[in-house]
Amino acid sequence: MKDQIVIGLDYGSDSARALIVNANTGSVLASSVKYYPRWTEGKYCDPVINQYRQHPQDYIDVLEATVKDALAQCPAGTAENVVGIAFDTTGSTPAFTDETGTPLAMLPEFAENPNAMFVLWKDHTAIKEAAEVNDLCAKWEIDYTAYEGGIYSSEWFWAKALHVLRQDKAVREQAYSIIEYCEWLPALITGVTKSSDVVRSRCACGHKAMWHEKWGGLPSEKFLTTLDPLLAGYRDRLFEKTETADKPVGTLSKEWADRLGLSTKVVVAGGAFDCHMGAVGAAVSPHSFVRVIGTSTCDIMVASYEEIGDNLIKGICGQVDGSVIPGMVGLEAGQSGFGDIYAWFKHVLEFPLKNILSKTSLIDEATKAKLIAETTDQIIPALSVEAEKIPVSESTIIATDWMNGRRTPDANQMLKGSIAGLTLGSSAPRIFRALVEATAFGSKAIVDRFRNEGVRIDTVIGIGGIALKSPFVMQTLSDVLNMPIKVCKTDQACALGAAMFAATAAGVYKKVEDAQDAMNSGFAKEYTPNKENAKVYQEIYDKYVVLGQSTGLL
């Protein structure tokens, strides 16, 4: 029997990666990572107003480049054995489309219009619209946020769509429908030419668009037009049904088979969000708490229908049937800032490098550039080494982890970060330690919320670059949670999860759990809590709660 090969495509905030996997054994044959060219240049974004937009052409460019590059690394004949392909993407990352399902930014007249592009998950320009959604849901006969934690976020589908409609007349006049990033890529490569033919993602629509079978799908037309008449007609032009990602949406079109060097027989699976597929790649199962740790975090769990019952879990990012593993309820939470908080502090410390050293005439330009690059690269590692030397008992600086607002518990993107307890002796490593502890405390707040809502957590699994590369951060997290943390062996858990869905959609496995059993990577390391540190951290956490109450609403 010849090997059955699948391709998992993971589209993150900054880059995309293709993973070529033997579906029968789980062995990785090759991988390739490419950065979005326009995004790398900082185009279409304005951090001052929290605007983050991505051009659909970026997604196309890296799709072709990563797949071809990865296949070129494989033995001859690999391409002809590829049976399935699947995407995971960030989300909620929606864009307006025309009637063909084409994002407006792909049309010449909108090619440079940020409002015609995909509105990245961390874009917070729609805070006002999210507040209006919450206010109306509280008054309406149906609370459409009931299965989304009870609070609608500015990071999500309807808030972003309404904000763009209000802001841009040209988009408003041309837009026909709205599509999530994870829905568009499968539609693109299967040759969909009508918006109505796009297969809609259970994961995206259930967690971010208030879709639920209980009330017949999306919120009612009356609700949407009461929210704003600009939304009139969109419900009818969107969708009624959604599908889980283990089901095929079609096969590669002739155009895309040729562009990728594959066969038109390759099955394309449904799309889903990166962290949900990442949890599958990390072997998520009931009572395990999977943390996808990167610029932000996304926390994923699955639970049986019997365990969840009629329980509505407050303050999380949704509970959706089949959004992670079909046949189970997927639960999502997370932090709006994690690695981004460390990156912010790094950027603060880079000021003299970028603004003083860069202008010196004492050394030549080439040496100057190398010196700045080398120093910049060493800031976080050096801070980690020194911060780790500081005893927990000396953690007198307290910070909150809301530099990018708060996702969970109880989404509130109006919140701002804070640092308290500074003295004239507060060094950079001590401040960095406080920031690391803040991200761990934010994690504890999420775990406590799940437990207080009756969700059992037995195991914590960490995936992502920080989980694999930062022992200081992971040990601090283990101590604060007072729980062991297993770290997934692969650094491409999201892409591996996508490969598992590709294998299931292509018929290699009957269900996702079978693909997990055969294709998982195992674990690289396990962190166990220091009991003394855990005891001290509980006391410091109480101070974090007080600080949060005084600077926002914890």
pLDDT in tens, 225-248: 999 999 999 999 999 999 999 999
The pLDDT of residue 554: 46
Q: Span 215-219, mean pLDDT?
A: 96
Tens digits of residue pLDDT in 449-472: 999 999 999 999 999 889 989 999
The pLDDT of residue 407: 86
Q: Span 424-452, mean pLDDT?
A: 96
Strands 288-293 and 118-119: unpaired
When the pLDDT of each residue in the chain is averaged and rounded to a whole number, the result is: 95
Q: Span 165-185, mean pLDDT?
A: 97
Residue 32 has a CB neighbour count (10 Å cut-off) of: 19
**H or E element: which one contains 148?**
none
Q: Span 526-543, mean pLDDT?
A: 96
pLDDT band, very low/low/confident/very high, at 145 (cuts 50, 70, 90): very high
Residue 127 has a CB neighbour count (10 Å cut-off) of: 18
Please state, in angstroms and rounded to a whole number, the distance separating the CA atoms of residues 122 and 52.
7
pLDDT band, very low/low/confident/very high, at 552 (cuts 50, 70, 90): low
Token couple for 130: 């999210």
Strands 319-321 and 5-11: unpaired
**Residue 482: closest CA among 399, 538, 548:** 538
Q: What is the pTM of this model?
A: 0.91
Q: Span 410-439, mean pLDDT?
A: 94
For 231, half-sphere exposure in the C-beta direction (CA atoms, 13 angstrom radius) is 22
In a domain, 529, yes or no: yes
Give the contacts of 323 (CB within 8 A, at least 6 positions apart). Answer: 202, 203, 206, 207, 244, 272, 276, 330, 332
The pLDDT of residue 1: 63
In a domain, 484, yes or no: yes
Long-range contacts of 138-144 (CB under 8 A, 24+ apart): 140/223, 142/215, 142/219, 142/220, 142/223, 144/210, 144/212, 144/215, 144/219, 144/223
**Is the torsion defined by CA of 123, 190, 205, 116 positive or negative?**
positive
DSSP assignment of 477-498 equals HHHHHTS-EEEES-S-HHHHHH
Q: Span 35-43, mean pLDDT?
A: 95
Q: Residue 468: which domain range?
A: 339-489+524-551
Helix H, strand E, coil C: the string for 69-93 is HHHHCCCCCCHHHEEEEEEEECCCC
Q: Is 51 exposed, middle or buried (0-12, 13-18, 19+ CB in 10 A)?
A: middle
Q: Span 4-29, mean pLDDT?
A: 96
In a domain, 384, yes or no: yes
In a domain, 313, yes or no: no
Question: Count of domains in the chain?
Answer: 1
For 14, half-sphere exposure in the C-beta direction (CA atoms, 13 angstrom radius) is 8
The pLDDT of residue 411: 82
Cis peptide preceding 409, ω within 30 of 0: yes
Tens digits of residue pLDDT in 41-58: 999 999 889 999 999 999
Lowest mean pLDDT of 19-28, 79-88, 506-515, 544-553, name the range: 544-553
In a domain, 1, yes or no: no
In a domain, 374, yes or no: yes
Give the contacts of 70 (CB within 8 A, at least 6 positions apart). Answer: 7, 18, 19, 20, 30, 31, 32
Q: Span 171-195, mean pLDDT?
A: 97
Please state, in angstroms and rounded to a whole number, the distance separating the CA atoms of residues 206 and 231.
19
Residue 404 has pLDDT above 90, yes or no: no
Secondary structure letter of residue 528 according to DSSP: -
Query: Residue with structure tokens 């459409």?
Result: 144
Q: What percent of the chain has pLDDT over 70?
A: 99
Residue 2 has pLDDT above 90, yes or no: no
In a domain, 234, yes or no: no
Which CATH number characterizes residue 418's domain? Answer: 3.30.420.40
Residue 553 has pLDDT above 60, yes or no: no
In a domain, 421, yes or no: yes
